[in-house]
Structure 1
């Protein structure tokens, strides 16, 4: 990446912006592959699947390469850990999430031998499955590919 903004910071920013707000920043995102999506569920597996599907559909990862899927999976789990405050379960604890997520793939180090990394960020709400009983949450996971 030629700019000073790291992939983690970009992922956090992208996850927190609406589609309209993101338009103002698109020209600065030329050095990274990224996508944005939304998921709401009481099922953690649905959250993981939504991110994985978005990464594959938007060609952020190659679905035929295990190491890329594996790196994404660990970044997702790390991000979920932040969302759930270290208790990676939602429905089992009568919690639901409404999340916007982003996936960013790039080269955060000057030395090209450091390779590519992937960041997954979540922003949204978590709480009891009762409208108005939720609060904001954020999570970030980063892993090398």
Structure 2
């Protein structure tokens, strides 16, 4: 089992998220038989962030809602990414914090061996802070899980 250096799914998810030309970036990834999407969400509720990312991933065919392992893998990648943006405690509104985030979801096989199967990565970037304009700072998070 060898992780292909050029197919690091987390790196590609972050590059897609931060790209000035995400449509072009996504096209290149799709040529490698990967699936991805980007979106935005802002909320004081963590469950709304999770729901927005899950909805985008389902609508774009990245995961199938009728296949439990795919939804489960996506959920854990989202929670891992949320841990990054919230510094380890997935709490937002309950402690008077709000987020404004862009996200990228990417699915593909980062290994040389096709039998290793697909993985999913969720990258989040944006702001977090008190629900007062100007009281936020940048944040980033990444979650990766096998499907």
Closer, same or farther: CA 16–92 of 1 in aligned 2, 3 Å = same
Query: Residues 60-99 of structure 1: matches in 2 within 5 Å?
Result: 60-99=62-101
1:35-80 deviation line (CA, Å, top 9, x unaligned): 0010000000000000000010001001110000000000000000
- TM-superposed deviation, 1:115: 0.7
How many positions carry a matched residue from both structures? Answer: 143
Matches within 5 A, 1:31-70: 31=32, 32-70=34-72
Q: CA RMSD in A?
A: 1.7
For structure 1, list consecutive stretches of 5 or more residues without a partner in the other structure.
none
Unaligned 5+ segments in structure 2 are none
Question: Which of 12, 15, 19 pairs up with 1:17?
Answer: 19
Looking at structure 1, the residues matched to 93 and 130 of structure 2 have their Cα atoms a distance apart, in angstroms, of 9
Among residues 130, 133, 136, which one is paired with 1:134 in the alignment?
136
Which range moved further: 91-100 or 24-33?
Answer: 24-33
Give the TM-score normalised by structure 2: 0.92
